């Protein structure tokens, strides 16, 4: 979704803004722009990539030590140069960038038109810019006060930064339901949607809270007020993030780098939480709320996209290992139903970014109903991490590729640890099986490494099926959610239509689609359903479907009947998703690359979906 970057200090703002915008590209966008103040506002905006913006700026010397930059992911108005941010006020004094949606922009716009304002773009953001102008000029207010009052009139979500031509020594930033971070340098400030444009300049940051308005000044002062005009104390934090974590290094894409990071990221997720030799497992965020977890009537998992799929694996795990009843909900549906959530329920939010608008809204609803909120997130300091009563980070490190890979395996690792931990505490897992699960969990990173060694073979299979227009993914038990994830990965980065199905459901509809042009990826590593899945494969073969089977090493039965097999190391059934998903990530990756697709920034997608 939209990315924000802003700078005030002693350095030239333009190169900092452009570099920052490039760091934010992963969020997904369709146009970009900058506004740099040097007496006048120098504004450049362009549809397309940041590179197109830089070409558009060309040889213009964009000088000035204060400025704002933006990558836009269209919500109101199509992606074009005019709708791109920054927007300017009617009197050309203010310039503003925005991430979010102003829901009541239409009545505000009509009221402003009656007051004589005219608008150039179709955006809600331009309306907000004029509203601030109107309040500032009507009451002759300082810019931060005009921003504050304007925001009291706004319904919706926003992260904004405002540049005022008449106040070259300050920037005003504010947020509600869209993230904003302030980086504190030496006599300079950076403002951004996330820490990625900031870390190469400073590690000292302040995360703005909802309905807070910050003023950063060139003299090095930072002040924060809330929307009710009360002064707030900035809480300065130290970023624990290295620059190489957000760079591609020797890899051609972030997605491939992140797939290959999984042995390490899974290990990082388990670090300090499990020791098979000493026979213990613990998850900090749960330890402090153990009573609530042991007595939970029900767990509700709320998430979107790949995180929702990880949640589905969580349901299988919690029910089998801990005997706790679980419901997995699309956050976007949960928030608009009138769900039965009661005191004693635990709501687990799963989110890589920790900023997904629907997941946040579902959590607010659950909070109002007095459920205990537990967050499993990757991005440290994110909104979900701060809203929940307790939680655990998955420690996957920055995930830049839009297609989630290492965050998914991190989420599943965390859920697996949690289910084993709770199951054992509840006396549901016998000691020998507990010890075996811990040992096996510790073996997962090295087994993932062995799967990555099969990359060339997977690439070959990709070359055989890359021209398909449809694909079916089938799995049973723990591998059914993996089938969903394989299909989601393929469609989002290669634009091939793909469906994930429980293997036995195939007969109830999708079997009609199967012919010699239909690749069917069967995830067949769970031995408890082996005979059944063999029958499913036979059914596909009988209709001339092309079967690509993910099997355990040495499974000669399926090897005999499938067209292609990818053999992976065996493991205990509850841990299978952590292995069986990896070949599917590589398969989609190679197919997408062979089809000439941009795997890191697939069309229309955003990394962090901060609007509903």
Q: Which residues are catalytic?
A: 2, 607
Q: Note whether 402 binds ligand M6R by CB under 6 A.
A: yes
Q: Is residue 609 part of the contact set for ligand M6R (CB under 6 A)?
A: yes
Q: Which is nearer to ligand M6R, 65 or 416 (CB)?
A: 416
Q: What whole-number distance in Å separates Cα of residue 74 and Cα of residue 51?
A: 18
Task: Report the residue from 304, 357, 412, 575 that binds ligand M6R according to the rule CB under 6 A.
Answer: 304
The secondary structure of 350-398, three-state, reads EECCCCCHHHHHHHHHHHHCCCEEEEEECCCCCHHHHHCCEEEECCCCC
Per DSSP, the three-state class of 26 is: helix
Q: In angstroms, rounded to a whole number, what is the distance separating the alpha carbons of residues 351 and 579?
A: 21
Residue 585 is a binding residue for ligand M6R (CB under 6 A): no
Q: How far is the CB of 280 from ligand M6R (least distance, A)?
A: 29
Q: HEC states along 569-604? A: CCCCHHHHHHHHHHHHHHHHHHHHHHCCCCCCCCCC
ω into 160 cis (within 30 of 0): no
Tokens at 491, concatenated: 């469609």
- Site for ligand M6R (CB under 6 A): how many residues? 16
Residue 58: count of CB within 10 angstroms of its CB: 7
Task: Say whether residue 404 binds ligand M6R (CB under 6 A).
Answer: yes
Binder among 196, 306, 392, 576 for ligand M6R (CB under 6 A)? 306
Report 488-547 residues binding ligand M6R (CB under 6 A).
492
DSSP structural state of residue 200: T
What's the token pair of residue 457? 């073979």
Q: Closer CB to ligand M6R, residue 352 or residue 390?
A: 352
If one asks whether residue 95 binds ligand M6R (CB under 6 A), the answer comes out as: no
* Site membership for ligand M6R, residue 305 (CB under 6 A): yes
Nearest CA among 239, 274, 607, 312 for reference residue 438: 274
Verify binding: residue 125, ligand M6R, rule CB under 6 A. Answer: no
Least distance from ligand M6R to the Cβ atom of residue 540, Å: 26
In angstroms, what is the minimal distance from the CB of 244 to ligand M6R? 22
Which of 351, 409, 413, 526 binds ligand M6R (CB under 6 A)? It is: 351
Give the nearer residue to ligand M6R in terms of CB position, either 117 or 607.
607
CB of 396 to ligand M6R, least distance (A): 11
Among 313-321, 322-330, 346-354, 578-586, the segment contacting ligand M6R (CB under 6 A)? 346-354
Q: Give the containing element (helix H, strand E) for 201.
A: none
CB of 363 to ligand M6R, least distance (A): 11
Find all residues with CB under 8 Å of 218, minimum gap 6, and list them: 8, 9, 10, 65, 66, 168, 169, 170, 187
Query: Is 353 a binder of ligand M6R (CB under 6 A)?
Result: yes
Task: Provide the minimum distance between the beta carbon of 484 and ligand M6R in the complex, in angstroms, as a whole number.
Answer: 11
Q: Please say which residue, 164 or 600, places its beta carbon nearer to ligand M6R.
A: 600
Among residues 121, 356, 409, 479, which is the contact residue for ligand M6R, using CB under 6 A?
356
Residue 227 burial (CB < 10 Å; 0-12/13-18/19+)? middle
For 231: left if phi > 0, alpha if psi spans -120 to 50, otherwise beta; the answer is beta
Decide: is 352 part of the binding site for ligand M6R (CB under 6 A). Answer: yes
Q: Which of 240, 244, 160 is nearest to 205 (CA)?
A: 240
Which range, of 142-150, 258-266, 417-425, 601-609, touches ligand M6R by CB under 6 A?
601-609
Closest residue to bound ligand M6R by CB: 305
Which among 598, 567, 563 has a CA at the least distance from the CA of 583?
567
Residue 96 in tokens? 């503003």
Interacting span for ligand M6R (CB under 6 A) from 63-71, 135-143, 300-308, 337-345:
300-308
Among 71, 129, 196, 307, binds ligand M6R (CB under 6 A): 307
Judged by the rule CB under 6 A, the positions of this chain that interact with ligand M6R are 304-307, 351-353, 356, 359, 402-404, 492, 605, 608-609
């Amino acid at each position: 979704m939209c990315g924000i970057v802003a700078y005030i200090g002693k350095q030239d703002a333009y190169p900092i803004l452009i570099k920052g915008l490039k760091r934010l590209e992963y969020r997904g966008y369709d146009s970009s722009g900058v506004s740099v103040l040097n007496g006048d506002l120098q504004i450049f905006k362009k549809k397309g990539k940041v590179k197109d913006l830089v070409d558009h700026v060309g040889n213009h010397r964009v000088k000035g030590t204060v400025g704002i930059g933006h990558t836009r992911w269209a919500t109101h108005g199509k992606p074009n140069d005019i709708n791109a941010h920054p927007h300017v006020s009617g009197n050309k004094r203010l310039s503003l960038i925005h991430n979010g949606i102003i829901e009541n922009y239409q009545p505000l716009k009509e009221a402003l038109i009656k007051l004589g304002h005219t608008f150039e773009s179709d955006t809600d953001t331009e309306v907000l810019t004029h509203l601030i102008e109107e309040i500032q000029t009507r009451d002759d207010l300082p810019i931060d006060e005009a921003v504050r009052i304007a925001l009291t009139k706004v319904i919706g979500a926003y992260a904004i930064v405002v540049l005022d031509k008449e106040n070259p020594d300050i920037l005003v930033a504010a947020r509600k339901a869209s993230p904003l971070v302030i980086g504190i340098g030496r006599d300079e400030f950076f403002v951004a949607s996330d820490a990625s444009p900031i870390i190469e300049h400073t590690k000292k940051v302040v995360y703005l809270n909802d309905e807070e308005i910050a003023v950063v000044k060139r003299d090095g002062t930072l002040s924060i007020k809330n929307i009710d005009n009360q002064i707030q104390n900035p809480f300065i934090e130290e970023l624990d993030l290295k620059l190489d974590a957000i760079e591609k290094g020797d890899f051609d894409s972030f997605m491939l780098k992140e797939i290959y990071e999984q042995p390490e990221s899974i290990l990082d997720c388990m670090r300090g939480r499990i020791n098979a030799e000493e026979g213990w497992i613990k998850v900090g965020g749960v330890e402090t709320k153990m009573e609530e977890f042991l007595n939970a009537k029900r767990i509700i998992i709320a998430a979107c996209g790949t995180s929702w799929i990880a949640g589905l694996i969580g349901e299988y795990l919690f029910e089998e290992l801990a005997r706790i009843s679980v419901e997995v909900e699309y956050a976007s549906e949960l928030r608009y139903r009138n769900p039965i959530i009661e005191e004693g329920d635990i709501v687990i939010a799963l989110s890589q970014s920790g900023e997904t608008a629907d997941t946040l809204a579902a959590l607010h609803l659950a909070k109002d109903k007095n459920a205990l909120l537990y967050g499993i997130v990757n991005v440290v300091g994110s909104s979900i991490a701060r809203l929940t009563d307790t939680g655990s980070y998955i420690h996957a490190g920055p995930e830049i590729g839009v297609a989630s890979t290492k965050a998914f395996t991190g989420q599943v690792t965390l859920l697996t640890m949690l289910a084993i931990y709770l199951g054992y505490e509840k006396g549901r897992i016998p000691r020998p099986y507990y010890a075996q699960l811990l040992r096996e969990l510790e073996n997962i990173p090295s087994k993932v490494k062995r799967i990555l060694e099969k990359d060339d073979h997977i690439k070959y299979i990709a070359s055989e099926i890359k021209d398909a227009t449809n694909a079916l993914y089938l799995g049973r038990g723990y591998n059914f959610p993996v089938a969903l994830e394989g299909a989601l990965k393929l469609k989002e980065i290669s634009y091939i239509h793909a469906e994930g199905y429980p293997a036995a459901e195939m007969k109830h509809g999708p079997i009609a689609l199967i012919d010699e042009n239909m690749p069917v990826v069967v995830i067949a590593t769970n031995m408890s359903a082996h005979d059944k899945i063999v029958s499913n494969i036979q059914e596909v073969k009988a209709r001339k479907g092309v079967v690509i089977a993910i099997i355990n090493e040495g499974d000669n039965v399926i090897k005999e009947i499938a067209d292609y097999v990818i053999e992976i190391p065996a493991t205990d059934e509850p841990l299978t998703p952590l292995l069986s998903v990896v070949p599917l990530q590589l398969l989609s990756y190679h197919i997408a690359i062979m089809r000439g697709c941009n795997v890191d920034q697939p069309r229309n997608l955003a990394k962090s979906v901060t609007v509903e």
